[in-house]
């Protein structure tokens, strides 16, 4: 899984840092630091974080093993399903 955050879009809402604190962290009020190669155990948390980003600044490639590269929209759908219990 490869994570890319468009730091020009990021507004520092920190939803990602709340949902996946081992991957995303805020440095000060607006600077986001993140691990672009998060551990496999973080997949669900990363999917939720990408879905929660109000400005859709997070892109996740290869979110699911064996699947072609996925983007934040697929991650958003997966996170909605996980959070809705569907």
What pLDDT band is residue 63 in, cutting at 50, 70 and 90?
confident
Residue 3, beta-bridge partner list: 60
pLDDT of 70 over the 50 cut: no
Tell me the C-alpha distance between 38 and 40, whole Å.
7
> Residue 63: left if φ>0, alpha if ψ -120 to 50, beta else—which one?
alpha
User: 56 by DSSP, 3-state: which?
Assistant: coil
More reliable by pLDDT, 69 or 45: 45
pLDDT of 24 over the 80 cut: yes
pLDDT of 83 over the 90 cut: no
Report CA torsion sign: 17, 59, 3, 45.
Answer: positive
């Amino acid at each position: 899984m490869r994570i890319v955050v468009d730091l020009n879009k990021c507004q520092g809402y920190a939803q990602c840092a709340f949902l996946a604190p081992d991957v995303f962290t805020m440095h000060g009020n607006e600077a986001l630091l993140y691990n672009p190669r998060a551990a496999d155990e973080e997949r669900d948390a990363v999917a939720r974080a990408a879905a929660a980003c109000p400005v859709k600044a997070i892109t996740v490639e290869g979110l699911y093993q064996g699947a072609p590269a996925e983007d934040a929209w697929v991650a958003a759908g997966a996170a909605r399903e996980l959070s809705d219990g569907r």
